[in-house]
């Protein structure tokens, strides 16, 4: 694969020796730090089935 020489679309500085078009290494590092995905715990309410749902007749059958 050929290496490209281009201009950073974010800051406008010249970039040389990159395989793909995109931001320069310093802009990439800044973007990674700014938009880092941080894991978090989300509280979810417990599932309660609707009252209009009827049980299966086979499950209610007496032995």
* Domains of the chain by residue range: 4-60
Q: In Å, what is the CA distance from 46 to each residue of 20, 37, 42, 49, 61?
A: 47, 26, 12, 10, 28
pTM of the model: 0.53
Q: What is the pLDDT of residues 4-32, one digit of tens each?
A: 889 999 999 999 888 889 999 999 999 99
pLDDT confidence of residue 1 = 66
Position 55 pLDDT exceeds 70: no
């Amino acid at each position: 694969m050929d290496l490209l020489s281009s201009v950073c679309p974010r800051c406008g500085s010249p970039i040389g020796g990159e395989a793909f078009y995109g931001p320069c290494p310093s802009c990439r590092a800044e973007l990674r730090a700014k938009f880092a995905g941080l894991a978090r715990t989300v509280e979810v309410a417990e599932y309660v089935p609707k009252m209009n749902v009827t049980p299966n007749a086979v499950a209610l059958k007496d032995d």
